[in-house]
Structure 1
Amino acid sequence: MNREEFYHLLRASSRIIEHERGQRGIDTDVHPARILVLGSQSILGSWHEDYLPEEATYSIEMDVALLPTEDDVMFFDDPAQELVDIIDASIGEGTLFQDEFEIYVQGVEQKTAVLPEGWQARLIEVRGRDYGIRSKVLCLDPYDLCAAKMARLEMKDRSYIAALVRAGDIDVDMLQRRLSQVTDPRMTPALCAQAEDFIAALRRKD
């Protein structure tokens, strides 16, 4: 996914979300939605694809969650789920949108990601107004993103992290420190051991 496609998906997501919020009576110009980009393409909030290894940007999917505002909570029963369901139906996998543009959005809830303590304070804001994005867009800090991937460590996650380390974008020591800040119980002792083994392997290759 390149930056143009990144902005295209954000613009489409924002348009859908703000339309639905406006229908409920929210002044979306004064109180825009907060979109959180999770998953591998969140890295584009920090670096241009020209400076990233190919493994970091090959995905055609972008994971998007909603961080509900006070207005969202007031006007929706379950804003985080309701709005991403609408996104899925409109520009998600298997839609006409994907058929036309060969990229799509996967609507998710923020709680699906296993993140280190303090991740909210490290979010990176994407300045999207110049690209027609009405909502506030936030992306994960690259180290928080990689720490979240360490909670799964599927082959694609391993390739992604290893490529960023080889490129010099991610420092192994800093990644290990960030991993130590994950207190989510879903990060089981077995997963922690697996993550530590992977970090040791990264050090050997480095």
Structure 2
Amino acid sequence: MAASKVRPLGQDDLDRAIRSVATHFETDTVYVIGSQALLVSQTGLDSRLRMSVEIDCYPGNAPEWEAQHVGFEASEEIAALFGEGSFFHQGHNFFIDGVDETTAILPPDWQDRAVTRTIDDHAGGTVTAVAPSPVDVVAAKLARGADRDLIFAARCIGSGLVTNRAVKQSLEQSLDGEALAQALALVDRASRAKNNPASAPAGFTNAQLLAFLGDLGKVKDEGG
């Protein structure tokens, strides 16, 4: 299958994912994590925060469903039916990544700050999507700390969606020791790059980035 074109996902896509998972697992609650969890509560998001081909979800009744379907995992079921390369993926140009409650590193009280979105299930009922608050979403990204997570965090801080202090407070509840120290340093790096998110992975300020790019140009010229 040809790779999907990365595009800004919208709340219609989110609703489709929520409805699909809820219908298959016969549940009225679906949890959404990852970057696209922002769509649960935010409208008018910068399109650069919505560039993705996946939405991470798990059904609220996953333990009960797995108890009734011995040998099967809800996350694997989602991957098979709605995941990358599935008919769902081909038909809608995005896929659902099956995850569980341990996938994202979240503070113990994240559900106290959770955000929700209730939609029509097209069968006379409703489904509620539950997601971490934007602060906890960004903190979970920085707990992982990949380059794309730093860029995502810098965009969120730059847009005013979250603050440096709030993200640090979330991390302080979910990490400790060296892992916490590293994550806190990444928050500051993302903050410094808020006006130029592409510089976040290298930890450059705008001035440092320009100087670095200038040096690269000189090396290229000198090398012929």
User: Higher relative CO (CA 8 A, sep ≥ 6), structure 1 or 2?
Assistant: 1
For 1:106, the equivalent position in structure 2 comes to 97
Change (3 A) 1:73 1:107: closer
Do residues 10 (structure 1) and 18 (structure 2) align? yes
Letter of the structure 2 residue corresponding to residue 9 of structure 1: A
Change (3 A) 1:190 1:70: closer
| Aligned mates of 1:170, 1:134 — CA distance in 2 | 30
Contact 1:66 1:110 in 2 (8 A): no
Number of residues paired by the alignment? 185
Identity %: 24
Letter of the structure 1 residue corresponding to residue 12 of structure 2: E
- Secondary structure of the residue that 1:198 maps to in structure 2? helix
Deviation at 1:157, TM superposition (A): 0.6
The 5 A counterparts of 1:87-126 are 87-126=78-117
String of CA shifts for 1:82-122, please: whole Å, max 9, x gaps.
33322211111111221121111011111121111201222
Normalised by the length of structure 2, the TM-score is 0.73
Match of 1:39 among 30, 34, 46: 34
Letter of the structure 2 residue corresponding to residue 45 of structure 1: V
Letter of the structure 2 residue corresponding to residue 182 of structure 1: S
Deviation at 1:134, TM superposition (A): 4.2
Contact 1:55 1:159 in 2 (8 A): no
- Secondary structure of the residue that 1:94 maps to in structure 2? coil
Normalised by the length of structure 1, the TM-score is 0.79
Do residues 193 (structure 1) and 201 (structure 2) align? no
For 2:206, the equivalent position in structure 1 comes to none
- Secondary structure of the residue that 2:79 maps to in structure 1? helix
Structure 2: state its 5+ residue gaps: 1-8, 195-224
String of CA shifts for 1:43-86, please: whole Å, max 9, x gaps.
001101x2x223310011011123337854764547xx633322
For 1:54, the equivalent position in structure 2 comes to 47
| Aligned mates of 1:107, 1:123 — CA distance in 2 | 20
Alignment RMSD (CA, Å): 2.4
| Aligned mates of 1:4, 1:194 — CA distance in 2 | 36
For 1:175, the equivalent position in structure 2 comes to 167
Match of 1:66 among 46, 59, 62: 59
Letter of the structure 2 residue corresponding to residue 63 of structure 1: D
Structure 1: state its 5+ residue gaps: 19-31
Letter of the structure 2 residue corresponding to residue 143 of structure 1: V
